[in-house]
Chain A
């Protein structure tokens, strides 16, 4: 929203602040100055200040709104342009109906129709104020008005339209003027029942939806999208002599939906899609009519007023403790100062026992609670007065960081030391990627309006992102890749959406120097560092489509499956366009459910320190197993048979395939045993003859 310095000076007599001061105050008070320009207006030096208007301050989508702010800051009063009484009548006719509607102590006539105006469907209408004016002459606007509108980035059309825009910018209330000679019958406010399109004032054809838009129509045509834009049918021109000038307040949510649904955004819809003060229409309309009568030839002007206002808006009375702004700000703000600020902002303040009752002006619909008043005081007092250099000393509180957060951080450190690079990827992926990498029994989660239609699904495995990165790195000729990612994976089980924190690790080697055991060692380094060596592997039952099915294992920790490790096959059929294919080399992938692991880790205790009082005794044993037997299981069984206090290490020293068997050399180191004791145990363990 732009304001002219000269306009503010007119509205705030006695203002001495220079334009930069004004701009800086408004910035700190909640309206960021994003433009400042010295200009010439009416031959004089002036300043145009552009400000961001916060979403909840619709009153400041007007010059008067900002004048109120500035007057409050410098202890001045706003002087509104004078409006004289309007010689109009409420028409008496057979169709007129009066009904007393009472809201609290206010009683208003409820005027739903007159001879020429009717509210057919008032569901989303808060207020309509309209004037029928006959016997005026539209014409070109005077120079000052054309120039003024230009400073506000608006083109002049004709006097009536220009005055309507002028009043909108000044007061914040949009109006719509219709040429009644181009209308057929009455002007109706209604819901759109039958119109498929409307041609707007700028010639654009807009598609409409039945039962969605609030419209203005006559007995034949659609004339306007209410609160948004007028139509060409009743457009004003230089020959216009009879008009209906209307201002209205609608349900802002409906105007917003209609505006975004039709993709028409105007100055009017920007204002009316937010909460505007219905009571403000009186002054705004009076000003407009006064200006029309002043500038249009009007010796024979006849005016008829129409006022539909079923429930008058009254501002809430708010209980206020003037000591609170100081508490919220953290600095001393005198109570008298707090009350003075509110009064400067046009709030009515009355003492009520120990506290005060504050009544905001009706155009401040954003103020409904005591906290809103506190904000008003502190922002006008000045945020810049709050010191920032002291480091706050807040009380010490309990640490509630969940284990999985610390776990993920430790894993990142371990992997980066081991030479892995971290990548992050989008959780939205292709159907192909999910099909290739998913190995869990859960359903897909799909978005309804993905930004990219090719990536509609949430990833079911962290492998989806790592595979994508692998493809990119292959294209860029990286020959050796070690990457990992920690992130969420998603699925649906029944009606419930599930998310898990997952770790994925991928190795790719174009020169084929690595094998799956390199990845296994990485995995075990992580798990052992975190406190467990109870790690086993089972051949996977549920395998992802991208795996070599003969080289795919579930990772088991403390008898719980927590992940998977596998070798990627060099190519895999997929759904369509991009079948998976490795250029060359070998790739391996492992995934661990960190959410599950963080539960298991809790039960581990790290007791590796021992006292060595004797030398270690190291002995070998040779075993032969079939190729299908698991030597790891065998070793686990041996471990169980040895007292942990006597076992230093047990490892496979050599493995030699012979036909369909494998000959293993197992090396065991015993601690705290003499040579004969160790030998005796060894012979017994491996059932060897002495």
Chain B
């Protein structure tokens, strides 16, 4: 019977899985009325000389039974813990939290701002309702100047107040307000009385800058542009700088980028010229400095301007300029193409 106790205990422990069942077995074998206790109780019925050896044997069985029962307890605890963990576990569901997007023009402006901030420029803005003084006269464009032909104006109070036709009006305000030296970039909107269609809008966006220091040159200006274009288009971009006329600069210059479509051979995109005009620039005209109260004998500067809309459209594959100002502009929920 003694030999069978451990064998049976093992067999029964193998079949159980809960603590309740284990406690039942504990009581059955180790309890006050348990099988092992009975064996110990029967020691008195044995002859004296056999009692000691029998007690040792029963104690050995008892110890083994306790070990088995304790081991089973641990095993059950681990298993229950694992089951609880499984019950507590949470599964990953397919969700797509909403993320927001910045407007293509904002991203474009931000990229340019970051570039110029790195070059030590401040970033400015200015009023959109402007006067003839700041938008034309102070840019060396008097009333009968041919350059005024180029711009048709949206008036608020003709001829004194209108929506600025170029962001160069911010330049005149900067020149007036701040003492040199300074380097400032200023993105903004401009307005011209033009028919709206797929490629033209009466509201458009420009990026301009002005630098006034003791000494600057065309080499500084071209170097700045070149560095910017390499950032925008990669190191292999080919740009040339040719003489151009703007009343507010002298000498005037304009960067042309080699057409990325035909690589200079001529195609529809570049109107068979092989080059794409990117903007305008030049050394600030002394009249412009003088009108701002800056002595052109002591200070020199350069100014530049680029159009933003077409660049943003090309970058984001927007085919209709009207999309930039709402309406058809949407942001795809399931894609986040941030290729800047």
Contact = CB atoms under 8 A, between A and B. Distances in A.
Are A and B part of the same complex? Answer: yes
Interface of A: 27-30, 32-35, 54-57, 251-253, 256, 273-275, 327-331, 369, 371-372, 374-375, 378-379, 383-384, 386-392, 394-402, 404-405, 409, 412, 415-428, 445-452, 458, 465, 468-469, 472-473, 476, 478, 480, 482, 488, 490, 497, 499, 501
Nearest to A56: B245
Interface in B242-260: 242-245, 247, 250-253
B101 A400 contact: no
Nearest to A478: B330
A392 B223 contact: yes
A450 B122 CA distance: 34
B222 A386 contact: yes
A449 B154 CA distance: 6
Interface in B223-274: 223-227, 239-245, 247, 250-253, 271-273
B251 to A, nearest CB: 4
Contacts of A450: 154
Nearest to B150: A55
B250 A372 contact: yes
Interface in B58-93: none
A107 B325 CA distance: 62
Contacts of B211: 394
A388 B226 CA distance: 6
A310 to B, nearest CB: 19
Contact of A383 (B97, B105, B110, B253): B253
A332 to B, nearest CB: 11
Interface residues of B, number: 86
B337 to A, nearest CB: 14
Interface string B102-126: 1101100010000000011011110
A400 B253 contact: no
Nearest to A406: B123
Given A419-B99, A478-B330, A499 B127 contact: yes
A424 B156 contact: no
Nearest to A488: B128
B182 A397 contact: yes
B40 interface: no
Contact of A476 (B106, B120, B283, B330): B330
Counting chain A CB atoms within 10 Å of each CB, the highest count among B163, B250, B285 belongs to: B250
A520 B181 CA distance: 44
Contacts of A421: 100-101, 331
A40 B259 CA distance: 30
B251 A55 contact: no
B33 interface: no
A424 B326 contact: yes
Contacts of B286: 369, 371
A546 to B, nearest CB: 18
B195 interface: yes
Interface stretch (B4-12, B15-23, B141-149): B141-149
Given A395-B214, A480-B98, A482-B100, 6 more contacts: A375-B252, A419-B99, A422-B103, A451-B196, A497-B156, A499-B127
> Which A-B residue pairs are the 7 nearest by beta carbons?
A330-B219, A330-B217, A253-B144, A416-B100, A375-B251, A419-B98, A30-B243
B213 interface: yes
A472 B328 contact: yes
Contacts of B196: 451-452
Given A388-B225, A423-B326, A469-B327, A378 B218 contact: yes
B100 A394 contact: no
Interface string B177-189: 0100111100001
A379 B203 contact: no
B219 to A, nearest CB: 3
B240 A384 contact: yes
B129 A499 contact: yes
A369 B168 CA distance: 22
Contacts of A401: 122-124
13 contacts: A54-B245, A275-B146, A330-B219, A388-B225, A389-B223, A394-B119, A397-B183, A400-B122, A416-B101, A417-B100, A423-B329, A427-B203, A451-B195
Contact of A371 (B98, B157, B285, B327): B285
A422 B100 contact: yes
A447 B154 contact: yes
B273 to A, nearest CB: 6
B217 A328 contact: yes
A422 B220 contact: no
B216 interface: yes
A379 to B, nearest CB: 4
B32 to A, nearest CB: 47
B215 interface: yes
B49 interface: no
A522 B89 CA distance: 32
B335 interface: no
A462 to B, nearest CB: 12
A583 B221 CA distance: 54
A390 B124 contact: no
B156 A388 contact: no
A179 B182 CA distance: 63
Contacts of A423: 103, 326, 329
A374 B251 contact: yes
B54 interface: no
A480 B143 CA distance: 52
**Which of B105, B251, B286 has most chain A Cβ within 10 Å?**
B251
Contact of B216 (A54, A253, A390, A394): A394
Contact of B193 (A378, A388, A449): A449
A418 B156 contact: no
B106 A28 contact: no
